[in-house]
């Protein structure tokens, strides 16, 4: 059922991208706090966050790819009418 797959894929994309946004907000807060860190401590804080950020971005890209595939299936089946 491609339409249900679309809704599910869309929800999964939102969830993954929200997690990315949360991680980026954390990095922005870290940047704002830079004066409180030594260069080494700042680098360590960024490095500590890097695996989570990378994982969330990879998940988001994978979910976006799936959403695109579902959209292509729907379009090929003529289930979506686009407006020009």
Interval 2-42: pLDDT, tens: 778 899 999 999 999 999 999 999 999 999 999 999 999 99
The reply to whether 64 falls in a domain is yes
What global pTM score does this model have?
Answer: 0.77
User: pLDDT tens, 32-77?
Assistant: 999 999 999 999 999 999 999 999 999 999 999 999 999 999 898 8
The reply to whether 16 falls in a domain is yes
What is the tally of structural domains in the chain? Answer: 1
Residue 56's domain spans which residues?
2-32+49-74
The reply to whether 44 falls in a domain is no
Segment (H or E) for 9: helix 2-32
The reply to whether 15 falls in a domain is yes
pLDDT for position 1: 59
Burial class (CB in 10 A: 0-12, 13-18, 19+), 16: buried
């Amino acid at each position: 059922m491609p339409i249900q797959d679309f809704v599910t894929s869309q929800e999964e994309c939102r969830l993954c991208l929200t997690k990315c946004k949360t991680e980026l907000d954390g990095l922005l807060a870290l940047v704002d706090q830079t004066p409180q860190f030594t260069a080494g401590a700042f680098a360590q804080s960024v490095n500590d966050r890097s695996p989570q950020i990378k994982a969330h971005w990879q998940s988001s890209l994978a979910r976006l790819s799936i959403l695109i595939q579902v959209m292509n299936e729907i379009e090929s089946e003529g289930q979506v009418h686009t407006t020009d």
